[in-house]
Amino acid sequence: MPNQNRDNLQTRIIALKLSDNKAAEVFKALSSQDRLNILKAMGLKSMNVKQIAEKTNLPFSTTATHIRVLEDAGILMSEIIPAQHGSMKLCTRKVDFINLSFGNDEDIDISKISISMPIGSFSRVIDIKPTCGIVSSTTSIGMYDNPRSFYLPQRLEAQLLWLHSGFVEYRFALPVPTSATIEFIEFSFEACSEAPLYRNPWPSDISLYFNEKLIGIWTSRADLGGRPGRLNPKWWPNTNTQYGYLNTWRVDSTGSYVNAQNISNTKLDELNLKESDSLLVKIGVSEDAENVGGMNLFGEKFGDYPQALELTIAYRLD
């Protein structure tokens, strides 16, 4: 078997349902504290049995037995490779997470994966115009009203970013089994308009795109302030933007929705997800929008809601 590292392993999920015999096997494998310690000790690294035994303070024979149980459950994979004296067994974790579906007979086959993306982990910015800026939970990042600040490496620590117009773009993995059919995608984030200081009313048309398809345009009513955001650090001035609206967008086979209200006719099959390894997500304000009122985008340590950008993928195994 060829050497496989973390980036080219194809099976990273065990998707289970209550009717599967596999579920009992997997959870039995995880019912041992020694086996949990083995997984913890390995992390994302490939290790041989001797290394694992030393790291967990377990006898070699006991370690080898536990590894066989984890292999049978599909949690670990092993390969025999040449060593200085003969050969050795190299073990690698095969999955990143396990999904167990609960529900009635109608929806028990649906599994969900949730991915949290920090707001500073954008893959690129597009035509950002001032006012604009980025701050972390402790300090500002770069200079205000200078789009070049969005390229600083410290952007990964961002907890609030704002712009008058333009877009930030994120690339989310689609870690579903290759045999799966995606049933719907949900995406939630906290945002509001962007005005000097804060202002109500101050409408702004915020657009969301998936894989370059417009999902919809939602009009934020205001740049919200007047009271501190529940999560804001003490150093953030009370005269600035404080919090936003938390919206959940959804795309399925019938169309696109914001907070369960239809916002467009864009359907899931238009996103070409079967041909994609990732989902390109673009959020911002177009220069030719009816209401060009900017955008504030909040992370988990700013505003009112302790979350980053949250993507949920619901899928069914074919």
Structure tokens at 194: 């962007």
Question: Based on the structure, what is the number of domains in the chain?
Answer: 2
User: Phi, psi at residue 48, to the nearest 5°?
Assistant: -85, 170
Which pLDDT value is given to residue 186? 96
CA dist 160 and 59 (Å) reads: 50
- The answer to whether 148 and 269 have CB atoms below 8 angstroms apart is no
Angle at 67 between CA 61 and CA 72, to 5 degrees: 130
In a domain, 7, yes or no: no
Pair 186, 284 in one domain? yes
What is the maximal distance between C-alpha atoms in the chain? 75
Q: Is residue 94 part of a domain?
A: yes
Question: Which residue, of 55, 73, 100, is where some domain finishes?
Answer: 100
Is residue 171 within 8 Å of residue 300, measured between CB atoms? no
Q: Are residues 48 and 167 in the same domain?
A: no
Q: Give the structural domain span for 57.
A: 13-100
> Is 188 in the same domain as 48?
no
Return the pLDDT at 74: 85
Instruction: Report the CATH number that the domain containing residue 217 is assigned in CATH.
Output: 2.60.120.260
Q: Is 160 in the same domain as 196? A: yes
Return per-residue pLDDT of the chain as tens, 318 residues.
233 333 333 335 566 666 667 788 889 999 999 999 999 998 878 889 999 999 999 999 999 999 999 998 888 888 887 877 788 888 888 776 776 766 554 555 788 899 999 999 999 999 999 999 999 999 999 999 999 999 999 999 999 999 999 999 999 999 988 888 999 999 999 999 999 889 999 999 999 999 999 999 999 999 999 999 999 999 999 999 999 999 999 999 999 999 889 999 999 999 999 888 899 999 999 999 999 999 999 999 999 999 999 999 999 887
Q: Are residues 88 and 173 in the same domain?
A: no
Are 63 and 94 part of one and the same domain? yes
Of the three residues 82, 100, 118, the one that is the final residue of a domain is: 100
2 falls within a domain: no
> 38: domain CATH number?
1.10.10.10
Which residues, other chains included, contact 65 with Cβ-Cβ below 8 Å and sequence gap of 6+?
none
* Structural domain includes residue 299: yes
Burial class of residue 239 in the structure, from the number of CB atoms within 10 Å of its CB (0-12 exposed, 13-18 middle, 19+ buried): exposed
Whether residue 165 is found in the same domain as residue 276: yes
